[in-house]
Structure 1
């Protein structure tokens, strides 16, 4: 009998990372892929990205509509509750042998809570990491404690998961799926990218700014500062991707849309670029600006500078191509000027990568196929002596 592997995805970025793993599960004769889609994928506001999943040839077994129209803390909390109810029903119908979740978002917290109570083993990707400026940090660690198999992106993160009391033989350093996705994707030429975007890029910045839920300054203040900085680079065009469905995300999106309306010749905004166009945009841009995790994981593979603003990614491993700065206009200006300078670009061409070699999904498949699930639910706390 095939082992039923149920993958949960709630955002465009997460799906882009999971794509290669899902494809391998789907093609494996010993495994059966089940797919639950939720969160932003089902929202018209965020581009109904479940359609891209279907266009890629995947069958969606269950759709769990959990997002409320607001992005206040109360709305997010209620969304988690709706998600737990929806996942409980989905698991009862699908009866997976194990679920696969990635990251630290509230949709995934709902998925793991329901799986834990349903006594379904959980495998978690990207545990052990730190993002000190977000509520994602305690969410991620909570998911780790509910999970039974752990796929860490580095040895440092593997050790931190063990430090949290997880048995060493359940924690695997497999690198990140992002690197593998890049290596297995035939990226668009610049002309093809321009045609797909219907926007002549020339030289451009790729910008994604998410809310920083534990930072002192407001989302409105942060996006205003960033937009004022971009005005200083009139000879650069700007491609924006919208924020995730986090608290105050709509505030950021509204300011970006207004900015693009006033700067149509040099800027454009997308709900979602999709994996191919997003990676192609990284390949051809002059710098990636904002606070997305992709700036730390995927962008360094292209030997491109990342201008990482604020505390959202504080605590994560970073390559030499990442330039940190605070939400202050002059700091961001200096960081961008440094990033696009010839000296910096030459320096990062020979830097070391920090997130693996690109065989991640194969290593995960091996573990998911071979790991004994009969007794895995009875977890013991591992004390480091």
Structure 2
């Protein structure tokens, strides 16, 4: 009698390099590890090594392989080349049945492309986000578009993201709307209750700020620093800004903000502490991606300091506002929410369009079904991307 193929665990390699990737793939890894259908092989590339070391153990993610690809101030082309070589070696050695990537980082693109070269099917978590501008955000918009040409499974966080994929020619049979795994993880972490807020002042309005995006670095970020100084000058706010490790960020923000009353520049927070800080804030100012999803989950209005967003659902729901990068506009938008209770409540009560905390379960349900089928899993999606 032949062995039951469903009794052999599917070797699933989860490739991650940045803290956001770890946060969003942690629920998938935990769910896989909690069952007997998948063997998760977590590979970290070290793209955000120090940040990852703060949190992976706390997220109950066991890392199988750690790579060392980062070099100080290296170019994207150099990073991509290092990632491709290292990940290709790991995939040939481990021979996974499936590679899972998340989002739109250089690690995600390199993981998907290396898997394609090794003839391993790819699952893309948080697929379908788009701004429609190839270099904004840079390089993320191009990265995620390229991954869509490679992936076999496209796990879209929202119906809009799913439509982006089908509009681009991805077969609807390979696109699945799951919600975003970042909500799974946020709810899990807050239930653990282990984090410590970075806010210290009592009685002040609490503002959490995150800034790091490449297209905002330089003069734009300097202008944002001036807006934060003006906001702190009100005297009734406490601003907490976890400083990104990038020298390009620190070289701009430290001269602008160090020593300013009402502004606390802190080292990057571990994820538990970041979640606790987010839960305690009154307002978020950010150019980040994932926090646009997390803030509405906790009824925190978010001002997005960018000219485009791949998460328009939050803006359309009224939970976030795209304010751009002009310092005066940023200051005016923040002060409106601080001074107008009606405007504040309207955003705080808008709701969360990004999921219910069960995205990882939906991802695994689909993968389980496909790997249990009698027919082999194809490398890529059927449809216009495939040869006739």
TM bracket, shorter-chain basis: 0.7 to 0.9
Q: Which moved more, 1:89-98 or 1:345-354?
A: 345-354
Map of 1:81-120 to 2, 5 A cutoff? 81-120=81-120
Q: For the Cα contact (< 8 Å) 1:211–1:243, is it kept in 2?
A: no
SS in structure 1 opposite 2:367? helix
Q: For the Cα contact (< 8 Å) 2:98–2:123, is it kept in 1?
A: yes
Q: For the Cα contact (< 8 Å) 1:295–1:308, is it kept in 2?
A: no
SS in structure 2 opposite 1:263? coil
- The separation in 1 between residues aligned to 2:307 and 2:123, in whole angstroms, is 27
Tell me what 1:223 maps to.
221
Q: What is the Cα deviation at residue 168 of structure 1? A: 1.4
SS in structure 2 opposite 1:4? strand
Q: For the Cα contact (< 8 Å) 2:15–2:107, is it kept in 1?
A: no
SS in structure 1 opposite 2:56? helix
Determine whether 1:207 maps to 2:209.
Answer: yes
Q: What is the Cα deviation at residue 302 of structure 1? A: 1.1
Q: For the Cα contact (< 8 Å) 2:299–2:351, is it kept in 1?
A: no
Q: What is the Cα deviation at residue 185 of structure 1? A: 2.7
- The separation in 2 between residues aligned to 1:367 and 1:31, in whole angstroms, is 12
What TM-score results when the alignment is normalised by the length of structure 2?
A: 0.86
- The separation in 2 between residues aligned to 1:311 and 1:265, in whole angstroms, is 27
| Structure 2 residue runs without a partner (length 5+) | 1-7
Determine whether 1:151 maps to 2:155.
Answer: yes
- The separation in 1 between residues aligned to 2:349 and 2:323, in whole angstroms, is 23
- The separation in 1 between residues aligned to 2:229 and 2:352, in whole angstroms, is 32
Q: What is the Cα deviation at residue 310 of structure 1? A: 2.0
Q: What is the Cα deviation at residue 351 of structure 1? A: 1.9
Tell me what 1:232 maps to.
230
SS in structure 1 opposite 2:27? helix
Q: What is the Cα deviation at residue 259 of structure 1? A: 4.5
Q: What is the Cα deviation at residue 62 of structure 1? A: 1.5
Q: For the Cα contact (< 8 Å) 1:153–1:176, is it kept in 2?
A: yes
Q: For the Cα contact (< 8 Å) 2:25–2:181, is it kept in 1?
A: yes
Determine whether 1:359 maps to 2:366.
Answer: no
What TM-score results when the alignment is normalised by the length of structure 1?
A: 0.87
Instruction: Work out the number of aligned pairs and report it.
Output: 363
- CA deviation string 1:53-88 (max 9, x = no partner): 1454433222222222115xxx11110000000000
Q: Which moved more, 1:27-36 or 1:229-238?
A: 229-238
Determine whether 1:39 maps to 2:46.
Answer: yes
Tell me what 2:53 maps to.
50
Q: What is the Cα deviation at residue 204 of structure 1? A: 2.4
Map of 1:53-72 to 2, 5 A cutoff? 53-70=56-73
- The separation in 2 between residues aligned to 1:64 and 1:222, in whole angstroms, is 33
Tell me what 1:350 maps to.
349
